[in-house]
Chain A
Amino acid sequence: MQSSDKESNRGDTRRDFLKKSSVITAIALTPAAAVKAAENQADERFAELFEKIPLNITVNNKAYSTSVEPRVTLLDYLREELHLTGTKKGCDHGQCGACTLHADGERINSCLSLAVMNEGKKITTIEGLASGAELHPMQAAFIKHDGFQCGYCTPGQIMSAVACVNEGHTGSRAEIAEYMSGNICRCGAYPNIVDAIIEVSKGGAKV
């Protein structure tokens, strides 16, 4: 952390240093860190214990410049910091797929990705699929084919379904089931979900 202090002494802010450096270091328990955390209205108890580090991220086409503790997962950041609760926390261990979203266009389990590892990325959650009041074709197809049961897993299912179409893995019902198997609730074996995906896939458009 010595180099960080040196930079600060030259009049640069700590954040400037972090931006310039190819190596971002965190958790130096400096007064500056506590102040910065306080500015971000963080819980003071945590501000004393842990430093937050900068995060620039675009979520559903909206850019956010913020800071988070390194241990915060992308899922928790979206739900608890941005209050985007459409992405569901199921198992929280990468097994159920309820937290599936798109990071730079690829589907991932947001529970197993640290928010800080998504610096600079474009994230799309279930809230970002529709255009205003107009549903995304996959949302409409899920409604038409009754692709839900309790509905808790549905946002993750829809995000995976959209990815499945864009990846080109819709050659057969079996292939769709295979590529939906990371969404373990109704794991692709639920025929109505497969019907919805086939319908959107036949539309031929990139969704």
Chain B
Amino acid sequence: MINFQYLRTTSAKSALALLQKDKNAKFIAGGTNLIDLMKRGVTSPEKLIDINHVPLRQIELVGHNIIIGALASNTNVAENKLIKEKLPLLAMALNAGASAQLRNVATVGGNMMQRTRCGYFYDTEMPCNKREPGSGCGAIGGFNRMHAIFGTSDKCIAVHPSDMCVALTALDAVVVIANAKGERKLLFKDFHRLPGDTPQLDNNLKADEMIIRLEIPANNLAAHSHYLKVRDRASYAFALVSVAAAVEISDNKIKDVRLAMGGVAHKPWRLTASEDFLKGKEANAQNFEQAASLAMSGAKGFGENDFKLAMSPNSIIEALNLATAKV
């Protein structure tokens, strides 16, 4: 690993002041992805600002919002009583990701900032528009079994690797972001980006900004929530396809429903058309099939990942079945 300047700070204010001075500096929290990328030479920041001592680890209910500090660890969120009770979908998604060792260290903000696991992004000998804009894409026409089927561009077909972010998209989370001058709010669904012509940009966080916390509005979806993760082995593997499903049922009808997918796009992929279709309808097999079919509009395979075109609708149906079967 190439050496770097290391700075440690204890407040968000000083962290942002340091970033203001050098916009090429990178924050390090858990470091579980960043250190890996630095060891592989994918990224070589000249300056790291250690924000682990900034007090942003709160998990609390404030009014109708569940607040999660950007530095809360994945374990602390997943094991938190409030989260398990109010947002079981988020707890399930977190526990489906990584290993206990990594979840103990990885933070909510870091999870949002993690980079794709596309092999061409990691292999510095290969072309990758995300790592080296303009160098090309090795995955298009290459080994693309893990890659995207929605929202791709001719520049990039990488997927976002997070499970947590899929649940947060479904839960209508709001990201609170700060710079040296103040705070702004961004809907979670607008935090991550599609690749377009700028696949090097994973998200809409600006160079002088820091993720402060998440605000998740309380909902009535807890009773019927399920995070389904389909992967190559039972545990500790990235998703081939994942589905976050949460349903509110009233008088045998679907009152509210949230559906989002992971492993299929450059960002967590919300299934708005399927949600709109299901609202007001009965929770039955026929409607689930129709919703899953609607979700596939615009899907496109790249050869090795064509199986996702069939796996995705099946996974949506399965996730809806599992969510609605819960008592």
Which residues of chain A have C-beta atoms less than 8 A from B101's C-beta? 94, 97, 100, 107-109, 160, 182
Q: A69-77, A123-131, A134-142, A195-203: which lies at the B interface?
A: A69-77
Partner of B48, one of A70, A92, A160: A70
Partner of B36, one of A22, A49, A94, A160: A94
Distance between A201 CB and nearest chain B CB, rounded to angstroms? 15
The CA of A114 and the CA of B26, in the complex, are separated in Å by 15
Partner of B3, one of A27, A178, A182: A27
Which residues of chain A have C-beta atoms less than 8 A from B11's C-beta? 22
- Determine if A119 is an interface residue (Cβ-Cβ < 8 Å): yes
The CA of A169 and the CA of B99, in the complex, are separated in Å by 13
Given contacts A108-B105, A112-B36, A112-B105, contact A179 B100 (CB under 8 A): yes
- Determine if B307 is an interface residue (Cβ-Cβ < 8 Å): no
Size of interface on A: residues with Cβ below 8 Å to B: 42
Q: Are A117 and B39 touching (Cβ within 8 A)?
A: no
Interface residues in A4-36 by Cβ distance below 8 A to B read 22-27
Q: Are A114 and B99 touching (Cβ within 8 A)?
A: no
Q: Are A178 and B5 touching (Cβ within 8 A)?
A: no
Given contacts A109-B32, A113-B31, contact A26 B6 (CB under 8 A): yes
- Determine if A116 is an interface residue (Cβ-Cβ < 8 Å): yes
Distance between A42 CB and nearest chain B CB, rounded to angstroms? 13
Closest chain A residue, CB of each to CB of B235: A181
The digit string for A181-201, where 1 denotes a CB below 8 A from any CB of B, is: 111100110000000000000
B-side residues, CB < 8 A to A, are: 1-11, 14, 18, 28, 31-32, 35-36, 39-40, 48, 50, 52, 75, 98-102, 104-105, 234-236
- 20 further A-B contacts with Cβ under 8 Å, apart from A26-B6, A179-B100, A182-B236, are A23-B14, A27-B3, A27-B4, A50-B3, A53-B6, A70-B5, A70-B48, A92-B39, A93-B36, A97-B99, A97-B101, A112-B102, A114-B6, A114-B28, A114-B35, A116-B8, A160-B101, A164-B100, A182-B98, A187-B236
